[in-house]
Amino acid sequence: MSMRSLTLASLLLLAAVSPGAAEDQPTTPPAPASEPQWSEFQSPERGFAIEFPGTPKMTSTPVEGQNPLLQYEFQVSAGEDTVYSVVLFEYPPGKAPSPITNDFYVKLVNAYAKGSDSRLRKRGEATIAGRPGFEAISDGDSGKGKLNHLVDVVPVGDRIYMLVSAGPKGHATDDDAERFRDSFRILGDQTEQQPEAQSAANPPAQ
């Protein structure tokens, strides 16, 4: 039982034993769940902006065996089974992989799939925020059912951004996943206003 369910059960139990409650009193129907409130989050220190459905929690850790490489993560959970994250790998000046090869992208998204217990279904080059990058879609399981992941990788100088959203079946191609990906921009970047991105989720017309 989740903490939310445990709290709700405790409140229901408390209401059941509270004195003075008449059995024939009308009950108020529960309020409908509110829609997530999307707004742009900016991190000038980390050089990016993106829309989240809430306020992200930020963590930072050194990457084991890769010091002084740092990993930053900005994450928002939307409900019980949907998560939006920006993962940033920040290298010391001049130490980032260059040039970024297809093999590098493949290894990175394979590592994500392994770490998230999911299986890659699509992968390929993509344009994100007007920059060349890479996109993958993977499928996996959680304790509550199937999960669908959309993963985009955007290298920018000494930083590599990974945009990740995961949710129920079909999430990778739904409006919210695409909104999250398409709202990403590099602060101060003159290339951010570009035509609609081509990606694994939105391939070019044949």
Question: Is there a contact between 79 and 59 (Cβ–Cβ < 8 Å)?
Answer: no
pLDDT at 36: 75
Token pair of 112 as six digits: 């994500």
CA distance 47 to 159: 9
Q: In DSSP terms, which residues pair with 71 in a beta bridge?
A: 61, 89
Q: Which residues contact 168 (CB under 8 A, 6 or more apart)?
A: 81, 82, 145, 146, 147, 148
pLDDT by position in tens, the chain (length 206)? 332 332 222 222 222 223 333 334 445 554 455 677 999 999 999 999 999 999 999 999 998 877 689 999 999 999 888 999 999 999 999 899 988 999 999 999 999 999 999 999 999 999 999 999 999 999 998 766 789 999 999 999 999 999 999 999 999 999 999 999 999 999 987 554 444 444 555 544 43
Name which of 40, 43, 62 is nearest 53 in CA terms.
40
* Nearest alpha carbon to residue 150 among 191, 185, 109, 114: 109
Residue 6 is predicted with a pLDDT of 27
pLDDT of residue 22: 36
Supply the pTM of this predicted model: 0.75
Task: Strand 145-156: give its sheet, edge to edge.
Answer: 57-62, 70-77, 83-90, 159-167, 145-156, 131-142, 118-128
Using CA atoms, how far apart are residues 148 and 168, in angstroms rounded to an integer? 6
Give the per-residue pLDDT at 5.
Answer: 30
Report yes or no: 131 and 156 within 8 Å, Cβ to Cβ: yes
Task: Give pLDDT, residue 144.
Answer: 62
